[in-house]
Structure 1
Amino acid sequence: MQDLQDIPTAIAGHVLAVDDDPSVRQLVSHYLGDFDFRVSAVRSGQEMREVLARSAVDLVLLDLRLPGEDGLALARGLREERSRIPIIILTGRLDEADRVMGLELGADDYLTKPFSPRELLARIRALLRRTRMHEGVAEAVSQLRAYRFAGWELDLRRRRLANPQGEEVALRNGELNLLIAFLSAPQRVLGREQLLALSRLHDAEVFDRAIDVQVGRLRRRIEADPARPRLIVTERGSGYRFNAAVEAVAA
């Protein structure tokens, strides 16, 4: 497998780059390798699967314009396998439809070609930080049975929210994930990027608006007066803060 390159460097993370352009593979391998990343650079979906089968991969860098089995099919396959490996897709400047489709299939970020190696490094580091933060919260939440706040109770096992009168309040999946993000970090200011990672809203192009819309919907569910919120408080220029004492009930 002549073009398969494994660079066994230190501990920053293992990036799997999938691109049929040898110059891109070489650029990514050398540049990220200089910053202590291990890089596996391959040219096809088959080689991608071979690396995933034998190695732990922290992030996939995926070109959408691959011959044969294209990047969209590979991204779809990864998500259908319930893989949570972060994905950054590479697209041409005019490939907006493919870029949107890739994000809808579960990619976490995108970069247009030609790209700056410094920007690629920054995006990889930021995405790995968000992913590791989300995994830490998910592990902590898995040890809990419920959250209680201001007379409300969120049953994490059944994903059921009850108001102070004991009545069930229906939440959409995005609203519920956002509420869990707030309850896992009460009294802390959470920026939109943090809330994006914690509630797993993937569309990086419109995430500011998406988070704001979800916050507005959640306020209508749990605030006595959504126009004057007391539980989810806006911190101007920073994000949002959950302004209530939260009791975490162990499993």
Structure 2
Amino acid sequence: MSHILIVEDEPKIAELIADYLHSNSYTTTHIDHGDQVLPWLEDNRPDLVLLDVMLPGMDGLALCREIRQRSEHIGIIMLTARVEEIDRLLGLEIGADDYICKPFSPREVLARTKALLRRISQITPPDAEDDASCPLVLDHTGWRALANGKDLGLTAIEFQLLSVMMQTPGRIYSREQLMEQMYRDHRIVSERTVDSHIKKLRKKIADVWPDRDIIHSVYGVGYKYSPDE
């Protein structure tokens, strides 16, 4: 079931889109303020973002650039009532996949959403194979981890954690070192936050490799990536 993030500050429009998507078996999350989007994406990974251009806080154009830098595989459809922005959207200067002009019908939003999700699903993941011998592969362009050719569905934070540890297999990273990599804005978080993310990461790996434990806890110190133990 695909998850759609609706970033729209007009409640009635957002509710109309969400109701229509729900009736077609999609799940949705609604955010109405631009500044809340990137923090949400640290712990969540939608399949597609419906992104309004005019937003309080961080505007939709800047958000689109940031989202695209994080992943090439999240679909982005811009919603705009600003005619002067259309040339920029069509020129793909900001990394959007498509755009819809306001006012629009929810049926059009649904059709564009289905079409884009179909295109995304047909993209073959780079460096991935379908056989069981395929190693754990990090796709830094798309912010994805592939195990046995299967996308683990990691959040941005989980991907960063795994990427850091995989750079030096066997090295023990303290929680403080991992937090420095996870939160470059130096926000204050507890060490339990790291433990929580590691727990979720290990579960996602175990769902694909139930017989392999590749991330190990070192009591009183931290964690290490060691696929050979």
Asked if residue 99 in structure 1 is aligned to residue 89 in structure 2, the reply is yes
- Taking the aligned partners of 1:30 and 1:50, their CA distance within structure 2 comes to 25
- Taking the aligned partners of 1:49 and 1:58, their CA distance within structure 2 comes to 15
Residues 29-178 of structure 1 aligned to structure 2 (within 5 Å) = 29-92=18-81, 94-95=83-84, 96-100=86-90, 103-134=92-123, 137-139=124-126, 142-143=128-129
Residues 215-226 of structure 1 aligned to structure 2 (within 5 Å) = none
- Taking the aligned partners of 1:68 and 1:46, their CA distance within structure 2 comes to 5
Asked if residue 26 in structure 1 is aligned to residue 15 in structure 2, the reply is yes
- Taking the aligned partners of 1:98 and 1:16, their CA distance within structure 2 comes to 22
Q: Which structure has greater strand proportion?
A: 1
Larger radius of gyration: 1
Verify the 8 A CA contact 2:8 2:52 in the aligned structure 1. Answer: yes
Verify the 8 A CA contact 1:28 1:117 in the aligned structure 2. Answer: yes
Total equivalences in the alignment: 129
Verify the 8 A CA contact 2:35 2:57 in the aligned structure 1. Answer: no
Shift of 1:50: 3.8
Shift of 1:36: 1.0
- Taking the aligned partners of 2:26 and 2:121, their CA distance within structure 1 comes to 16
Shift of 1:126: 0.6
Alignment root-mean-square deviation, CA: 2.1
- Taking the aligned partners of 2:32 and 2:10, their CA distance within structure 1 comes to 7
1:153-172 residue CA offsets vs partner (Å, 9 max, x unmatched): xxxxxxxxxxxxxxxxxxxx
Shift of 1:21: 0.8
Shift of 1:82: 3.7
- State the one-letter code of the partner of 2:107: R
Quote the residue 1:16 is aligned against: 5
The 3 A distance-change label for structure 1 pair 41 and 94 is same
1:202-225 residue CA offsets vs partner (Å, 9 max, x unmatched): xxxxxxxxxxxxxxxxxxxxxxxx
Shift of 1:47: 2.5
Verify the 8 A CA contact 1:89 1:109 in the aligned structure 2. Answer: yes
Verify the 8 A CA contact 2:8 2:14 in the aligned structure 1. Answer: yes
Q: Percent identity?
A: 42
- Taking the aligned partners of 1:52 and 1:138, their CA distance within structure 2 comes to 21
Residues 175-194 of structure 1 aligned to structure 2 (within 5 Å) = none
SS state at 2:30 partner: strand
1:12-48 residue CA offsets vs partner (Å, 9 max, x unmatched): x100010111111111111111111101011112332
- Taking the aligned partners of 1:68 and 1:54, their CA distance within structure 2 comes to 20
Structure 2: 5+ residue runs without aligned partners?
A: 131-229
